[in-house]
Structure 1
Amino acid sequence: MPLQVSDYTWQQTKTSVFISVPLRGVSVRDADVFCTENYLKVNFPPFLFEVFLCAPIDDENSKAKIGNDTIIFTLYKKEVAMWETLSLPGVDKEMMQRIREKSILQAQERAKEATEAKAAARREDQKYALNVMMQIEEEERKKIEDMKENERMKATKELEAWKECQRKAEEQKRIHREEKFCEQEKQIEEERKKFKHKSHTRISASRNLATKGRNSENIFLEKLKENSIPAPRSVGSIKINFTPRVFPTALRESQVAEEEEWLHKQAEARRALNTDIPELSDLKEEEKNPEWLKDKGNKLFATENYLAAINAYNLAIRLNNKIPLLYLNRAACHLKLKNLHKAIEDSSKAYRIMKLHLRLTRPMKLYKMMLRRFGI
C-alpha cells in the first residue's frame, strides 16, 4: 500500500491555485504526475499524493515544476472564484473510484484525439510534401521538354541551312556545267567556220583539194560528234534458254552433289512420312498442316503450357523436318523446362538447316541478279 502524503501546502487566487508537494528524497525521474479537470495525482513510490478538486481547472494550461525535492503545481481555474477547500468534501471510496475512472477515460479520449490530430497533421504534411515534389518534378519535366524542343528546333534549323547550302552548291554546279557546255558549242562552231573558210579557198584552187577538204571536214565532224554527248542505246531484249532442272540455278553455279543429297533426303522423308505416321488418318485436315501445328504450339507456349507445345512441335517436325523455326520454338520450350541438352540439340539442328538453305539459295540470288543486269 502506498503512503498518502498529507503535509502539502496550497494557496489560491481568484484565477489560479498553487500546490506544493514535498518529494521526501525521491528521485525526480521516479515521479509520475497525472492531472485532469477534477483530479490530481502524483505517484513517487512509496508515496502517493492525490486530491479530488472541488471545482474544475484548465488542465491543458496548468503547469508543474519539480525541483529542490518539491513539486509546485500552478493550476488555472475555469471559473473566477475563491475556493473554500481544495478537495471535494464528503467523498467516499465509490465516488473516488468513479472520479478516477472518469479521469482516466477523459485522459484516454484526449490522448486518442491528440494521436488522431497528429496523424491528420502528418498526413497533411505528407500530402503537402507530395504536392511539392510533384510540382518540382513537373517543373523539371517542363524544363527537360523545353530543352528538347530547343535542341530539336536548333537541329531543324541546322538541317535546313545544310539543305540550302547543298541546293546552292548543286545550282552552282549546274550553272557551271551549262556554261562549260555553251563554251564547247561555241568552240565547235568557231572551228567549223574556220574549216569552212579554208575549204572554200581550197575549192577555188582545185577540185581534188575540195574533195579532200570535204573528206577532212566529214572526219572532223565525226570527231566532234564523238566528243559530244553520245546518243542513248537502243532498247533490245536478250532471250536466254536454260536446261530445265529441279533447282532454278545455272549448272555452272550449282553444287550438284549437295543438291542430289538434298533430293535424296527429301525422298526418304516422304517415304518415312507415309510409313512412320500411321495415325495420320485419325488427324483432321488442319492438324496435318505443319504451319497450323506451329501456330498451335506458339499459342500453348504463350499460355506457359510447354509440354503441350512440345507435342505440337514434335508432330509438325514429323510432318516436315526442314522448317528451322519448329526446332527453334521447341528449343525455347526445352529451355523453359530446363532441358538444356535438348535445347542445344534443337538449336544446332535449326542452324544446320538454315546453313544448308543459304548454301542452296545463294546461286539463285546470283541468277536473279544476272537477269536484272541484262534487263530480262
Structure 2
Amino acid sequence: MPVRVSEFTWQQTPAEVFLSLPLRGVCVRDADVFCGESYLKVNFPPFLFEVFLYAPIDDGSSRAKIGNDMILFTLCKKEPVMWETLSMPSGTGESKRGHRSKICCQAGGSEIRTRCDDEGRNWENIFSEKVKEDGIPAPRSAGSIHISFTPRAFPTALRESQLAEEEEWLHKQAEARRAMSTDLPEFCDLKEEEKNPDWLKEKGNKLFATGNYLAAVDAYNLAIRLNRKIPLLYLNRAACHLKLRNLHKAIEDSSKALELLTPPVSDNASARMKAHVRRGTAFCQLELYVEGLQDYEAALKINPANAFVQKDAEKIRTIIQGTALKSHD
C-alpha cells in the first residue's frame, strides 16, 4: 500500500501553476511521473502523489525539473484564469478511479521515467520528449583486443616471484652463455636445445645403450663443460670408461660424482651406491682388490639388501684371502 504524500507547495499566475514536491530522500532515478490534461501523478516508492487538477493544462508545454531531492513542475494553463484550488473537488473512490482510467486512456499512457545525474545537481526537463516504447538495443559490434605481455624467464607471476633471486640467476646464466661461446667455439654449429646439458646427458644415455661408448663420452664431455655441477654426468661417463677399459678415468669420474653427491641423503642413495660400485670395479680390474672391497662395502652400507653387490663383494674377499694365502706360502 503506497504512502500518499500531502506535503507540497504551489503557486500560480494567470498563465501557469508552480508545484514543488519533495522527494523525501528517495533516489531520483526511482521517481516516475505521469501527466495528463487534468491529472498529475508522481510515484517514488513507497510514496505516491497524485492530483486531479482544477482545470485542464497544456501538457505539451508544461515542464518539470528534478534535482536536489525535489521536483518542480511548471504547468501551463489552457485558459488564463486563476484557480480556486490546485485540485478539483473531492469525489468518491469510484468516481476517481473512473476518472483516472479515462485520463490514462486519453493520454495514451504517457508515463515518463525521470532522469538526473548522479549528484542531483543538474535539473532536467522531463516533458520535453514524447513517450517512446522500450526497445531492445542493437547488439554490440564484434571486435578483438590485442594484449601483449612482458616476456619473463620464469613461469611464476611477477607478484609471486623473488625478483632479486631471479635477477641473480639470469645474471649467472648470461655469464655462463658468454663463457660457453668463448670456451666452446664448436657449439656454434649446434642447435639451441643441443646446448642444454640435460639434452646432452640424454643423448649420451642413448648412445651408451646402443654400445657407442666413444660417442657417449663425447656427449658427456660437452655436457660437463657446460655444467660441472651435475654428478650424473660424471657417473655415466665413468660407466663408459669402464666399458672402454679407461680404468683410471673411471675411478676419477666416480670420485668426482661422490664429491658432488653431498650431503648423503635418501634421494641420492642410488647414485652414491652406483659410484662406489663403479669405482670398486675399476680398482678390482686394476687388481687393487683391497681398495675395490672398500667401495663395495660402502655400497652395501647404503643398500645392504642388494644381492648382486653382496655376491661381488664376497668374490673380492675370496680373491684377497687367496692372494694372502699364496703370499704366506
Q: TM-score range by the shorter chain?
A: 0.3 to 0.5
Higher relative contact order (CA 8 A, sep 6+): 2
Q: Structure 1 or 2: larger helix share?
A: 1
Q: Which has the larger Rg?
A: 1
